[in-house]
Structure 1
Amino acid sequence: MIITMIRLVTLGTFAALLASPAYSAGGGGGGGGGGSDAYGSTYSTPPSATQPAYPKRSGTKAGQKAKKPNNQSSIGDPAFAAGYRVAYDTIYDRNDYTAAIAQLKSLGQDDHPNVANLIGYSYRKLGDYEQSQLWYERALKADPNHVLTWQYYGLWQLERGNREQALYHLGRIASICGTDCEEYRSLAAALDKPIGTALVY
């Protein structure tokens, strides 16, 4: 259920970003402002058939992410978005993390925080914590406000027994999106579990 919740949060974030006025007016993601996306491209049209709309998540407040569109980095190029979606589905629908890593790397955008975060997530699910850490840090270097990376990296910290670091990550999430966002609630719930409890995220 938690994996489904995380999946819905991620999809909802992209839907909110693609539908946000900042996106259609040329606003970018990644914690900055301005008239371009993470690639420096500007957009003047709203999402269309060439720009996939991701499903809205259920069970959360509508527009929760739309209020702060700069918390996540946007995906603007239709070919990139389509390739990312294939890799995303490979992770969350098929749990084929090795194939997803190859798909994500083939996009040629390893420094895009969404890509680096999912590569880190995939390595974590494969048990390769060293590679996972490198990719999470790469995502945060590209976008220090990438809230989903702070959440996933916080779970990484818990799995490694680094509770104090996970609490730090929780604090970073709170400073970015508050304590009511799904990323905060998910990591807080994991922190509330007794030490030694197996996490399923």
Structure 2
Amino acid sequence: MITAMIRVVVLGTFAAALFASPVLAAGGGGGGGGGGTSSTDPYAGAYSDQKVQPTYPKRSNPKATQKGKKPNNQSSIGDPAFAAGYRTAYDTIYERNDYAVAIEQLKALGHDDHPNVANLIGYSYRKLGDYKQSQIWYERALKADPNHVLTWQYYGLWQLEQGNREQAMFHLSRIAAICGTDCEEYKSLANALEKPTGAALVY
């Protein structure tokens, strides 16, 4: 039943987005999964200037490392110092689960408006239970890149943790419009929506 509802909402929103948005209708703006190239560097997409279609890392658990295809960001930064600092903060989050230190590391990069940076700061605040700060940073990431699909996923999980199922479904529809229903971000949020209200989410 929930799956059917999700599909109806997603299909309706996806169709509306295609006709309403010249960027999505034209296939531009960082949309769609599956067009990227494989990379042996797990962090390459965070600071690559290459224009490839984004897919983002699977997040089956908070310790997962970033693998798979390169994500695209229109505001990508090719600075090696930034890349190294981002790598360090990324590992602090997903390998050490030290969210407070990661926030300091990410803010020290001096690129708060980079969508990857803002999203990970938001994620870290959410893991620390500071939902107000988390929301501010997720919205900052989406302001920098409205098609930043990983932020839509993480912010959707934020909505679920706050009991906002309808908002989470809207986030799911945005993910579908950007990368379809086969991308990991869509599957992750859809799976979370299948769980009963109040169920613990491990993301």
Query: Structure 1: how far apart are the matches of 2:66 and 2:126?
Result: 26
Quote the RMSD (CA, aligned, Å). Answer: 2.7
- Native 8 Å contact 1:101 1:119 kept in 2: yes
The 5 A counterparts of 1:129-144 are 129-144=131-146
Q: Evaluate the alpha carbon distance shift between residue 87 and residue 70 of structure 1 in structure 2; reply closer, same or farther with a 3 A threshold.
A: closer
Cα distance in 2 between the residues matched to 1:76 and 1:112: 12
State the alpha-carbon separation in 2 of the partners of residues 110 and 29 from structure 1: 23
Note the C-alpha offset of 1:56. Answer: 3.6
SS of alignment partner, residue 194 of structure 1: coil
Aligned: 1:174 with 2:176:
yes
Report the CA distance between 1:106 and its aligned residue. 0.2
Letter in 2 for 1:191: L
Does the C-alpha gap of structure 1 residues 55 and 160 become closer, same or farther in structure 2, counting only changes over 3 Å? closer
Specify the alignment match of 2:82 in structure 1: 80
SS at structure 1 position matched to 2:87? helix
Residues in 2 aligned to 1:183 and 1:55: alpha-carbon distance in whole angstroms: 13
The aligned amino acid for 2:102 is: A
Aligned partner of 1:122: which letter? S
Residue by residue over 1:59-99, the C-alpha shift from the partner in whole angstroms, topping out at 9 and shown as x without a partner, is: xxxxxx56xx6467534211101000000000011110000
- CA drift of 1:15 comes to 3.8
User: Identical aligned pairs, as a percentage?
Assistant: 76
Report matched runs for 1:188-199 at 5 Å: 188-199=190-201
Q: Secondary structure at the match of 2:101?
A: helix
In the TM superposition, what whole-angstrom CA distance separates every residue of 1:29-78 from its partner, at most 9, and x where no partner exists? 99xxxxxxxxxxxxxxxxxxxxxxx9644xxxxxxx56xx6467534211
The unaligned stretches of length 5 or more in structure 2 are 1-39, 55-64
Displacement, 1:195? 1.0
The yes-or-no answer on 1:155 pairing with 2:157 is yes
1:55/1:194 Cα in 2 relative to 1: closer, same or farther (>3 Å)?
closer
What aligned pairs does 1:9-48 form with structure 2 within 5 A after superposition?
A: 14-15=43-44, 23=50, 27=51
Q: Is the 8 A contact 2:43 2:87 kept in 1?
A: no
Gapped runs of 5+ residues in structure 1? 1-10, 31-53, 58-64
> How far apart, in 2, do the equivalents of 1:111 and 1:155 lie?
21
